[in-house]
Amino acid sequence: MPRSMRRASAAALTAILALGGIGLGAAAANADSTQTFSGVLQAGDATWERTWNCDGESAGFGQQYYDVQTFTVPETGGYRIDMTSHALANDDSVEQSADGYFHLYEGAFDPTNPTVGCLAADDDGTGSLRPRIDIGLTAGVTYTLVTTQYSNGADASQYAYTTQIDGLYPVTTFAPAAGQTRAFTEGPARLSVTFSEPVEGFDADDVDVFGAGPTTVSVTGSGASYEVLVDGFESYGSYFVRVETRAVTSVASGRPATQPDEITLVYVESLPTVTIAPVGDTTIATEPATFAVTFSEPVEGFAADDVVLGGTAGASTVAVTGDEADYVVTVGGFVGAGTVEASIRAEAAYVLVGGGEGPPQQIGTAPSDTATVTYAPVVAPSPTATAPAPTTSAPVAPAPTTAAPAVSPSGGELPQTGGSPLWIGLLLAGALVAAGVGVRRMARIR
């Protein structure tokens, strides 16, 4: 249970501290001052199931007592939150030694949802069993510091501690350089170290690497920006890279830079990949669309929310079956005809890579290409539609036939008479005359 706050210097760091949720007021601003407060964890305090870090994984020690201190800082910059002393008064049933733990939150702390707002956590940052957090803080923002024991549960022990907030310090940012992945197949690994202001004294001796095998380290840069190259990897596995800033100081103030978190690198023979492809025809008439997902090696953690949907058919539902390296993804919920697109996001699943110190590391898979199926449903005719009425054509009279022209006995074309009696008589007369002429010619010949 927190005790009253006491000032460590006349020019106090402006902070509002609420020990156990009780506000204690504000002080005058001075970036070079120190604020100190104390507390005791004991029976009657609130309890929670402590996590290892900000990822929410339980530490496995059950319910533990905790205190909260809320505060603000007067200036934006780097601060050190340091447990300067602690002691444990045990009864006969408690055998553990004094060992503290910090969690820092932006805003309020909810023990039932410990990942929300979590900024940092630490166990032995001071190099002993006392925690320390070096971090950049923003003026006007309310922060909450949660103090817990490392392993002692809610028992008869009394854990007394003293904590100090001190600023301002150059803020150190340590991260993979642009384009550098945490897992890689060949060196060097490129890491970026930047400070919030120019510093001096930073070189390769301030970078520690330990893990699966030997490495080499080189540092380039000056002022506030540096690049660290880690190379010479000989063994596959995990490598932990830490920047030690005790000898790195601000050019302007001479104060040491804040200590950043370490980076874990994993040197692997190959990175896990994933492919996705339609099962069967690429054009379907009915739901669902089915895709085969194949990883290059057995993985863990693949689920429906790792599938990214797209396309014009408006697909909205996903189901996943399978295990190890082979899975089937079933997609439905179409709103209309069109395309159904499916892909697997980056780090959808992971493999565990061992080697070196520490536990096996989770290595996420690369993203997949996009697979496409076309949804073309068959549209049945409407049952209320009427058949078209038959069309009736008016009868068409047959075209008149034209008789071939009549030919006279002499070979000439006879005029068309149309059946007139006059013409018939003329034709008969002509025929008789012709016949008489022919009889006379035959008589002379005889």
CATH number at residue 283: 2.60.40
Give the pLDDT band (50/70/90) at residue 298: very high
Please check whether residues 37 and 106 belong to one and the same domain: yes
Evaluate if residue 350 carries a pLDDT over 70: yes
- Span 396-408, mean pLDDT? 52
* Cα–Cα dist 409/388, whole Å: 62
- Structural domain includes residue 125: yes
- Structural domain includes residue 309: yes
Please check whether residues 218 and 346 belong to one and the same domain: no
Least confident among 69-73, 234-238, 378-382: 378-382
Please check whether residues 257 and 291 belong to one and the same domain: no
In the prediction, which pLDDT does 323 show? 93
Predicted confidence (pLDDT) per residue in 80-124, tens digit: 999 999 988 865 555 467 889 999 999 999 999 999 999 999 998
pTM value? 0.60
Residue with tokens 């100190």: 36
CATH number at residue 64: 2.60.120.380
In the prediction, which pLDDT does 282 show? 95
- Structural domain includes residue 406: no
191 bridge partner residues: 176, 228
Domain end residue (candidates: 354, 375, 396): 375
Please check whether residues 262 and 278 belong to one and the same domain: no
Give the pLDDT band (50/70/90) at residue 279: very high
Give the pLDDT band (50/70/90) at residue 27: very low
Report the percent of the chain where pLDDT is more than 70.
75
Least confident among 2-16, 115-129, 224-238, 417-431: 2-16
Count of the separate structural domains present in the chain: 3
Q: CA 262 → CA 176, 265, 364, distances in Å?
A: 11, 10, 19
Evaluate if residue 2 carries a pLDDT over 80: no
Top pLDDT among 211 and 403 is at 211
Q: Residue 38: which domain range?
A: 6-168
Tokens of 233: 């990897």
Tokens of 121: 């956590």
Least confident among 43-52, 119-128, 137-146, 297-306: 119-128
- Structural domain includes residue 308: yes
- Structural domain includes residue 249: yes
* Cα–Cα dist 370/392, whole Å: 57
CB 335 within 8 A of CB 314: yes
CATH number at residue 208: 2.60.40.1220
Please check whether residues 238 and 122 belong to one and the same domain: no
Q: Select from 44, 20, 25 the least CA-distant residue to 35.
A: 25
Please check whether residues 150 and 243 belong to one and the same domain: no
Coil vs helix vs strand at 159: strand
In the prediction, which pLDDT does 442 show? 43
Evaluate if residue 416 carries a pLDDT over 90: no
Please check whether residues 47 and 148 belong to one and the same domain: yes
- Span 298-320, mean pLDDT? 96
Tokens of 161: 């501690």
- Structural domain includes residue 420: no
In the prediction, which pLDDT does 30 show? 40
* Cα–Cα dist 85/137, whole Å: 23
Report the percent of the chain where pLDDT is more than 90.
51
Residue with tokens 């830490």: 242
Most confident segment among 42-46, 353-357, 410-414: 42-46
Mean of per-residue pLDDT scores for the chain: 81
Evaluate if residue 193 carries a pLDDT over 80: yes
Please check whether residues 159 and 183 belong to one and the same domain: no
Please check whether residues 92 and 33 belong to one and the same domain: yes
- Structural domain includes residue 390: no
Domain end residue (candidates: 375, 392, 409): 375
Please check whether residues 57 and 135 belong to one and the same domain: yes
- Structural domain includes residue 383: no
Domain end residue (candidates: 319, 349, 375): 375
Strand locations in 257-379 (E): 263-267, 274-278, 283-284, 289-295, 307-310, 317-323, 326-332, 338-344, 350-353, 361-364, 371-375
Give the pLDDT band (50/70/90) at residue 158: confident
Please check whether residues 33 and 181 belong to one and the same domain: no
For the CA atoms of the chain, what is the radius of gyration? Answer: 47
Query: Would strands 183-184 and 263-267 be described as parallel, antiparallel, or unpaired?
Result: parallel
In the prediction, which pLDDT does 383 show? 67
- CB count within 10 Å of CB 338 equals 15
Please check whether residues 23 and 158 belong to one and the same domain: yes
In the prediction, which pLDDT does 252 show? 92
Q: Select from 117, 113, 107, 105 the least CA-distant residue to 147.
A: 105
